[in-house]
Amino acid sequence: MANLLNEERFLHELEAELAIDSVTGQYHELQDYLVKEIEEIGFSASVMHKGGILVTLNEGGENPVLLTAHGDTIGLMVRHINPDGTLKVCKVGGLYAYHAERENVFVHTDSGRVITGCIQRKNASVHVTEDELDKEVPNFDTNSFVVLDEDVHSAEDVRKIGIDIGDYVALDPRFEYRNGYIKSHFVDDKALVALLMEFLKDVKDGKIKLSRKVYIYISFFEEIGHGGSAIPDDVKDFLALDIACIGPEQTSDERKATVFCKDSRFPYNQDLVKELSAAGKAAGADYVRDIFTPHYGTDADPALVAGYDVRHAALGPGTRASHGYERTHIDGMQNVYKVMCEWISR
Ligand SMILES: [Zn+2]
């Protein structure tokens, strides 16, 4: 019988992870949270010097495989403090102003104080500047900025409350679960981190038997391209769990799992694509195969670029509006879990 994700527990885990801001590079709080949780499940976790979590399962097994999902998200950073007390921001990873407009944000200062605000356009009122609103495209360089929920009217005022250049600015994740649909700015990739935490619990409970040595790797640098560039030396197979983007001519579907055949960098390992497809069939999972061009990659790619002699693959749930207000479905998560657990148990 195929492995089933404990949906209630999974959603609870996802919500907890989403409540912790973790723009790429801002990893300490989520890392601490996950390490504590992994230890409570009953495994030991080691942390990487640059940030990242490794858990080793079935230590004596052969043919080591690494499963990864990334805990970092796209976000923003304070680029400049404007003379009127608003903040110019730049993106960290691929967060565009049209996807961030009108969202509440959290500015993380050095002291630990978190100051709230909202992304607004300069011409934001339909009653005053309707024509400009219609014509302009939101852009962080020219017309979109953070308006702080503080009584600040100058750059000096802003500095006085502790904000400085380089402070991380995180978007409200806006998690919603409606009728099976999972919505948030950061389905990518916290849904898959939560799924790996469920996998750990099921391994601990003896529901999943492992024959191979398995590494679980939570990366915090996928969105800028180097999460997968440092892995244990004995890894033979590298499976990245990440969202499968939906769009014209894509087969990916919110209710299905997707086996990645190629992204904008490389074809995935042909043998692993076949193995994952066969595992999907054997598990009775609803899955498709898909190709992602022109702008997509996973943490599996940088492992090859870094010189590791691994077979690489990627698997994930169909996800709408990638890097926007993303949406997938609990059935998609179930199907990913079925394919992954079947493949890893072989
Ligand atoms: Zn991702």
**pLDDT tens digits, 280-328:** 999 999 999 999 998 999 999 999 999 999 999 999 999 999 999 999 9
Torsion angle of alpha carbons 333, 334, 340, 341, nearest 10°?
Answer: 140
Q: What is the mean pLDDT of residues 48-77?
A: 97
> Is the same domain home to 234 and 308?
yes
Q: Could you tell me the distance, in angstroms and rounded to a whole number, from the CA of residue 242 to the centre of ligand 1?
A: 5
**Mean pLDDT estimate for the chain:** 97
Which of 13, 222, 275, 342 is the catalytic position? 222
CA distance 244 to 55: 25
Q: Is residue 2 part of a domain?
A: no
> Is the same domain home to 330 and 274?
yes
> Is the same domain home to 83 and 38?
no
Decide: 55 and 45 in contact? Cβ < 8 Å. yes
pLDDT for the residue numbered 267? 97
Decide: 346 and 211 in contact? Cβ < 8 Å. yes
Residues lining ion ligand 1 (Cβ < 5 A) are: 188-189, 242
CA distance 217 to 197: 11
Torsion angle of alpha carbons 32, 34, 36, 37, nearest 10°?
Answer: 160
Where residue 224 sits, what CATH number does that domain have? 3.40.630.10
Let me know if 222 is a catalytic residue.
yes
CA distance 67 to 332: 18
**pLDDT tens digits, 136-192:** 999 999 999 999 999 999 999 999 999 999 999 999 999 999 999 999 999 999 999
Strand, helix or coil for residue 16: helix
Q: Could you tell me the distance, in angstroms and rounded to a whole number, from the CA of residue 129 to the centre of ligand 1?
A: 37
Instruction: Give CA angle at 315 (309, 319), nearest 5°.
Output: 140
pLDDT for the residue numbered 42? 98
DSSP string over 23-62 = BTT--HHHHHHHHHHHHHHT--EEE-TTS-EEEEESTT-E
- pTM for this prediction: 0.97
> Is the same domain home to 190 and 332?
yes
Instruction: Produce one character per residue of 141-158: b if its CB has 16 or more CB atoms within 10 Å, e if not.
Output: eebbbbbbebebeebebb
From 171, 202, 221, give the residue that closes a domain: 171
Range of the domain at 265: 7-73+175-344
pLDDT for the residue numbered 294? 86
**pLDDT tens digits, 188-230:** 999 999 999 999 999 999 999 999 999 999 999 999 999 999 9
> Is the same domain home to 185 and 279?
yes
> Is the same domain home to 193 and 309?
yes
> Is the same domain home to 142 and 290?
no
Pairing of strands 114-121, 104-108: antiparallel
The CA distances from residue 59 to 1, 55, 65, 262, 303, in Å, are 26, 10, 11, 31, 22
From 144, 171, 198, give the residue that closes a domain: 171
The CA distances from residue 147 to 65, 97, 171, in Å, are 46, 14, 13
Strand, helix or coil for residue 212: strand
Q: Is residue 1 part of a domain?
A: no
> Is the same domain home to 138 and 251?
no
**pLDDT tens digits, 224-257:** 999 999 999 999 999 999 999 999 999 999 999 9
Where residue 108 sits, what CATH number does that domain have? 2.40.30.40
Q: Could you tell me the distance, in angstroms and rounded to a whole number, from the CA of residue 234 to the centre of ligand 1?
A: 24
